[in-house]
Amino acid sequence: KLTGQIAELLASDPDMAVRAALLAKADLLTGMVSEFPDLQGIMGRYYALEQGEKAEVAEAIEQQYLPRFAGDGLPATATGRALSIADKLDTLCGIFSIGEIPTGDKDPFALRRAALGVLRIMIELELDLDLRQLLVMAASAYGLDEQAADKLADQIFLFMLDRLQAYYIDKGYSSRQISSVQQRRPTRPVDFNARLQAVDAFGQLEEAPALAAANKRIQNILRKADGDDFGTVDTEILNEAAERALFDQISELSTEVDGLFRQGDYTSALRRLASLRTAVDDFFDQVMVMDENPDIRANRLALLASLGEMFLRTADLSQLQ
């Protein structure tokens, strides 16, 4: 069922995917695989072809185990990708649901490898799937109610987010960069990858250190203000030139940047937001945010909240500081 659902999301043939999933583990019962376990999947492909199954079904039976180790190849066909993702997510949900979660170096069911395999398939093959949604689908197949399935999916999702740390460290990204994106908890691995690339490109800009520091300052101020909804900015009480200049620049950039975010072009969006550096510096140099007048104070907090939210749409840049 899960393989068929994933195949539909990948716009491939769900009937072929279901057929491949039905036959996926049949070769484990044969004498050949019992004698030579490394041939699992490989023999499945031969048996399927001998039985007259379609080539893509046979290939998917072998590809379900990919990637088998770091640097291994990925499933080449749409049906193979759907089956590989479904098999690994099903394993994660099944083992997590009985409390056999990996601890320390112990991982007898290779759940870390399964998690990383799913992430590699989605990211490196650019399959724009919602991982959180797939985990809920996988968990619900175990007959769990909606609340229990959601809780299990969230637990596995966080486990898989942690696997991304090692994956991206190996690719040369810093733990601060990765953490800045993880804070936003994007549910689509392809989207996570795009955000991280944008953060990396942003870090090369001259304005990056100052804006990262400003973001950290904004987050600290808003946290101390202890509010969730700071409302909208009232232009009538923007009485300092620096705060009005910042508001005008934010307003001017807003529509353009919003369009870039909707397109997933985080790199271009952050590059445009970097132009706010001078206005942000002037604001903090010349404006007292926590003014004695409660209306002015609330208005300035609203201005900072709107600025912070624009940057947060990619990552929590304060983590870079």
pLDDT tens-digit series, residues 77-93:
999 999 999 999 999 99
Give percent of the chain with pLDDT exceeding 70. Answer: 99
Digit-coded pLDDT (tens) for 124-138: 999 999 999 999 999
DSSP string, 113-178: HHHHHHHHHHHHTT----HHHHHHHHHHTTT--HHHHHHHHHHHHHHHHHHHHHHHHHTT--HHHH
Sign of the alpha-carbon dihedral angle for 68, 74, 79, 85? positive
Question: What's the pLDDT score for residue 115?
Answer: 97
Q: Does residue 172 or residue 106 have the better pLDDT?
A: 172
pLDDT of residue 105: 84
In terms of Cβ atoms closer than 10 Å to its own Cβ (0-12, 13-18, 19+), residue 21 is: buried
Q: How confident is the model at residue 17 (pLDDT cuts 50, 70, 90)?
A: very high
CB-count burial class (<10 Å; 0-12, 13-18, 19+) for 88: buried
Rounded to an integer, the average pLDDT of 94-117 is: 92
Average pLDDT of the chain, as a whole number: 94
Pick from 60-69, 100-109, 166-175: least confident: 100-109
Average pLDDT (290-312) is: 93
Return the biggest CA–CA distance within the chain. Answer: 83
pLDDT tens-digit readout, 33-52: 999 999 999 999 999 999 99
| Dihedral sign for Cα atoms in the order 311, 314, 318, 321 | negative
288: phi > 0 → left, psi -120 to 50 → alpha, else beta; which?
beta
Q: Is 72 helix (H, G, I), strand (E, B) or coil?
A: coil
Cβ atoms 117, 66 nearer than 8 A:
yes
Taking the alpha carbons at both ends of the chain, their separation in whole angstroms is 46
Q: Convert the pLDDT of each residue in 191-247 to its tens digit.
A: 999 999 999 999 999 999 999 999 999 999 998 887 667 889 999 999 999 999 999
pLDDT at 228: 67
State the pLDDT at residue 281: 95
pLDDT score recorded for residue 47: 98
Residues 6+ away with beta carbon under 8 Å from 110: none
